[in-house]
Amino acid sequence: MTLSSQVYSHLSLDEFLQLPETKPASEYINGRIYQKPMPQGKHSRIQTELSSKINQLGTSQKIALALTELRCTFAGRSLVPDIAVFEWSRLPTDEDGEIANRFESYPDWTIEILSPDQAPNRVINKIIFCINHGTKLGWFIDPNDKSVLVFQPNQLPVVKYDTDILTVLDVLGEWQIKAADIFSWLKVK
């Protein structure tokens, strides 16, 4: 098993942000640079479908926006969640009123999808960091286990399977999605 590559560095966060972007993206965590693994089929399918479902509701009502592989820099780290969801009122804009290029804040909802080459605890640690710095909701999706670990502030995480209804951002109102809905997207025959 290959874990995401780690480059020990003495760079500051500002110096890291001046480096050219990598493919796949690199993240800055506790003074170290980690390159995310290249997404594979299951990861990509879930990421595409889930962000699309969130945006179908969120953008039409201008209540939330899901962005994939968006760099979020805050609290001394620079993270790239698989899906970062921002409530519409928190979207940073430039002087023209367009969405900003740089997001220097935590997402309201961070979603990570475990890839075969990722260390689960490192991914979970990213979600916990986000929750501890303002994020309202975190999901850790494990395609192999067909489970979603749900994180919320001041609560223990909860594992959801099958027909369990998943917690979503409050601004998304009555929208409901089950763990089984997410994993049904993996079937192509």
Q: What is the mean pLDDT of residues 132-144?
A: 98
pLDDT per residue as tens digits for the range 87-102:
999 999 999 999 999 9
pLDDT per residue as tens digits for the range 22-81:
999 999 999 999 999 988 999 999 999 999 999 999 999 999 999 999 999 999 999 999
pLDDT band at 187 (very low <50, low <70, confident <90, very high): very high
Burial of 149 (0-12, 13-18, 19+ CB in 10 A): buried
Which tokens is 174 given?
């009555």
Rg, Å, the chain Cα set = 16
Note the pLDDT of residue 104: 98
Which tokens is 114 given?
């475990």
Domains of the chain: 39-184 (3.90.1570.10)
Q: How far is CA 148 from the centre of its chain?
A: 13
Q: Which amino acid, residue 71?
A: R
Q: Per the confidence metrics, is the pTM higher than 0.85?
A: yes
Question: What whole-number distance in Å separates Cα of residue 95 and Cα of residue 99?
Answer: 10
Which tokens is 34 given?
């980690």
Note the pLDDT of residue 117: 84
